Amino acid sequence: MTELATTGTDLSRLRELNSLSIVRALRQHPPSTVTELSQRTGLSRPAVDVIAQGLVTDGWASVLEPGASSAVGRPARRYQFRADAGHVLGVDVGAHKILALLADLDGDIVHTVRHSVSPDAGPEERLAELDSVIDACVSEAGKSFGDIWAVTVAVTGAVDAAGQTSFFTPLPGWQQVNLASHLGARFTCPILVENDCKLAALAERWKGAARDADDIVYLLGGMRNGAGLIIDGVLRRGFGGAAGEIGALKQVRWLDAPAHLQNCAGVPSTVSPDDAAAWVFNAARDGNRAARAAVNRYVKDLAVGAAALVLTLDPQVVVFGGGFSRSADLVLDPLRKELERLCIRMPEVRASTLGADSVALGALKLSLNEVDDRLFSAGLSAPVAPRRQ
């Protein structure tokens, strides 16, 4: 069986795989000694020692020398993943606001910039505002564009294979906007564009209400309803990027649902249409009968579309997010009752814990996933922002 001996190429690949497993073992843990890394990876202590020193040289890891004061016996040096070796951006381009989050490779947010924008703003105005938010976020954090390893932009509307909202978007004039090419003029790193509901779903699984679940239906409840789907732990886009668009089917009543709140009797004329729903939820909480009836009608319609998703996918968890999730206390119980009535297996129904920032957080997470995919598939060189192919 001598013919099974590994070749030189095999050994070089083995060395790279071992480096990757040390990076992984560092990344998910607090600073670690060579002994700890050896236990975690199954590699010998001397091998870990050599590899870890190489990772420090390359810039993937830093060394924590044992402090003299903490010395008991002979304390070992510890290695730490350098989360600041690179940074990623997550940006939410909404109807009313643009929000950018800058994070290190651990996903810890180091800077946030939020600008208001008019829902009527045309594409040039919204793109200019996007540029200004990104400029502010990167420069105020003391970074340059070359320090950014991935950018994900969240938009409203299904995102097609070209990264455009060619099917439909409520943002005026936005269907023709090519964000990847617009931002590509400034960034050399990969630029992703994704639907807001899908990214909110990703965020709720990452840091929100569904961290323990692999099968998740995320409902975005607001003046527009939307959905994001995670199946077997993976965000699903569909074949053409249009998964989760059940709201377009009038029979499932999502188009009617918010109108019950906007058209509720008793909303003062001084309350703007945008604020009417909030007024109704508050009035319902105070016992106003018309408002309670409006909320019930809203939930009944919301539940039909939700039931279509639940019956199709049979998820473990339904997360109720979006603007209306601030009133989850009024929505969750009647929503559960309706789903019990309509579905054959009842999922858990939970409120979003991330609120309005979930979309930008999900964008950040998609950027981190992109970095990981490259990091752990393409092999390991010194840390540097990846270039688009």
Q: Give me the residues that bind a copy of itself (CB under 8 A), please.
A: 1, 3-4, 6, 11, 14-15, 18, 43-44, 46-47, 50, 158, 167-168, 214-215, 227, 229, 231-232, 234, 236-249, 251-253, 304, 307-309, 311-316, 342-345, 347
Q: Hey, what amino acid is at 268?
A: P
Residues 6+ apart with CB under 8 A from 272: none
Residues 6+ apart with CB under 8 A from 12: none
Find the shortest distance in angstroms from Cβ 349 to a copy of itself: 13
Q: Which residue, 88 or 227, is less far from a copy of itself as judged by CB?
A: 227
Q: Which residue, 174 or 187, is less far from a copy of itself as judged by CB?
A: 174
Q: Which residue, 171 or 277, is less far from a copy of itself as judged by CB?
A: 171
Identify the DSSP state of 96. Answer: S
Q: Which residue, 59 or 233, is less far from a copy of itself as judged by CB?
A: 233
**Cβ distance 64 to 31 under 8 Å?**
yes
| DSSP code per residue over 336-368 | HHHHHHH-SSPPEEEE-SSGGGHHHHHHHHHHH
Q: Which residue, 134 or 246, is less far from a copy of itself as judged by CB?
A: 246
Find the shortest distance in angstroms from Cβ 181 to a copy of itself: 22
**Cβ distance 309 to 227 under 8 Å?**
yes
Find the shortest distance in angstroms from Cβ 374 to a copy of itself: 20
Alpha-carbon separation of residue 381 from 57, 123, 124 (angstroms): 11, 39, 39
Q: Which residue, 218 or 279, is less far from a copy of itself as judged by CB?
A: 218
Alpha-carbon separation of residue 345 from 193, 215, 223, 244, 339 (angstroms): 34, 14, 28, 20, 9
Strand partners, 78: 33, 64
Find the shortest distance in angstroms from Cβ 55 to a copy of itself: 14
Find the shortest distance in angstroms from Cβ 188 to a copy of itself: 30
**Cβ distance 231 to 313 under 8 Å?**
yes
Find the shortest distance in angstroms from Cβ 249 to a copy of itself: 5
